Homo-oligomer: A and B are copies of this chain.
Amino acid sequence: MEQIKDGWFSEKNDLWPGQFFSLEVESILHHEKSKYQDILVLETKNHGTTLILDGIIQCTQSDEFAYQEMISFLPLCAHHDPKSVLIVGGGDGGVAREVSKHPLVKEIIQVEIDEKVIEVSKKYLPFMAKGFSSPKLKLNICDGFEYMRQHKSQFDVIITDSSDPIGPAVNLFTETYFKLLKDALKPDGIICSQGGTLWSQLEHVQDTISNCKKHFDVVDYAINSVPTYPTGQIGYVIASLNPNANLRLPKFLIQDKQAEELDLRFYNSDVHSAAFVLPNFAKKVLSW
């Protein structure tokens, strides 16, 4: 709680030295240390209810939709028929909320290791936790690695909604993890993982992509704006087992009318394709 001082939460962290972002706090709604992490929920002045894990902002009510929609709809719409989806992590329920909106999705399995995050989200972050109420969803409290070892060739799409690629979630960006993802996918399956940020973690993004390329035929990287994340942007590693896949061209189209019907505030088919366009400094290093 030393991050809260004079009514402000400051996200100081060695992951982004020399800078930090602060949010004005109206009240502390919840604080506990679970078996896995420090869980803090704040009511903030201008960004609504905010979930913070191990001192890092995971989502604020004001902009969480940008991340949740993109990490879900990028792989779902890049797949021709995403019937069966696995979500690894995502304990706040936001990704389940988005995935369950997609008309072609029939079955969602979610594996989250920390049931305390789910409990806390259900209580304080109902705008995300409503994802857990989807009749399409089956939620398992267990280790994603273990689950995938026992469920081979089963999913059309696997989404890994984790914290940053450096720090506690580092195992979710290794070659071993991408091998597990590959084996849990059906032959033409697609994965999407939170993939760090170009501006402050470009070498880590490069490493993650290299690890992914060892097991996937087509690997790509997309970005979008999320104001309360460090550098105001987040990236996604998205990959397909189909050697002819073009992940930049959505197969399932969502234009204005359908976006409205699905309550999508960020994602549409044009946003999908534009998200893969990288600035020169990143394109050069990631060598597309």
Residues from chain B with Cβ under 8 Å of A260 in the complex: 280
Contact of A225 among B17, B23, B225, B259 (CB under 8 A): B225
Is A167 located at the chain interface by the 8 A CB criterion?
A: no
Whether the Cβ atoms of B24 and A17 lie closer than 8 Å is: yes
Q: Name the CB-closest residue of B to A262.
A: B280
Are B265 and A270 touching (Cβ within 8 A)? no
Q: Is the CB of A199 within 8 A of B279?
A: no
Do B10 and A18 touch across chains, with their CB atoms under 8 A apart? no
A228-264 vs B: 1/0 string, CB under 8 Å?
1111110000000000000000000000100110001
Residues on B with C-beta less than 8 A from A268 are 279-280, 283
A29 located at the interface, meaning its Cβ lies under 8 Å from any Cβ of chain B in the complex: no
Chain B residues contacting A279 (CB-CB under 8 Å) are 66, 224-225, 265-268, 271
**CB within 8 Å of B: which A9-55 residues:** 10, 17-24, 44-47
For chain A, what secondary structure do more than half of its interface residues adopt (helix, strand, loop), or is it mixed? mixed
Is A63 part of the contact surface with B, judged by Cβ < 8 Å? yes
A282 to chain B, nearest CB (A): 9
Interface residues on A, range: 35 or more
Q: Which of A22, A46, A224, A278 has the most CB of B within 10 A?
A: A22
Which of chain B's residues has its CB closest to A231's CB?
B227
> In the assembly, what is the distance between CA of A10 and CA of B271, in Å?
33
Q: Does A169 contact B (CB under 8 A)?
A: no
In angstroms, Cα B268 to Cα A259, docked, is 29
- How far apart are the CA atoms of A63 and B231 in the complex, in Å? 10
* B-contacting residues, A194-211, CB 8 Å: 199-200
Q: A232: which B residues are within 8 A, CB to CB? A: 225-227, 229, 231-233
On chain B, the residues within 8 Å of A259 by CB distance are: 280
Q: Is the CB of B280 within 8 A of A265?
A: yes
Q: Give 11 A-B pairs besides A227-B230, A256-B284, A265-B279 with Cβ atoms closer than 8 angstroms.
A: A19-B23, A20-B22, A21-B22, A225-B279, A229-B232, A231-B232, A256-B280, A267-B280, A271-B278, A271-B280, A273-B274
5 A-B residue pairs with Cβ-Cβ distance under 8 Å, sorted by A, are A10-B22, A225-B233, A232-B232, A232-B233, A268-B279
**CB 8 Å contact bits of A76-120 with B (1 = contact, 0 = none):** 000000000000000000000000000000000000000000000
* Min CB gap A235→B, angstroms: 11
Interfacial chain B residues near A266, Cβ < 8 Å: 279-281
> Closest CB of chain B to A5's CB: distance in Å?
11
Q: Which residues of B contact A44 (CB under 8 A)?
A: 18
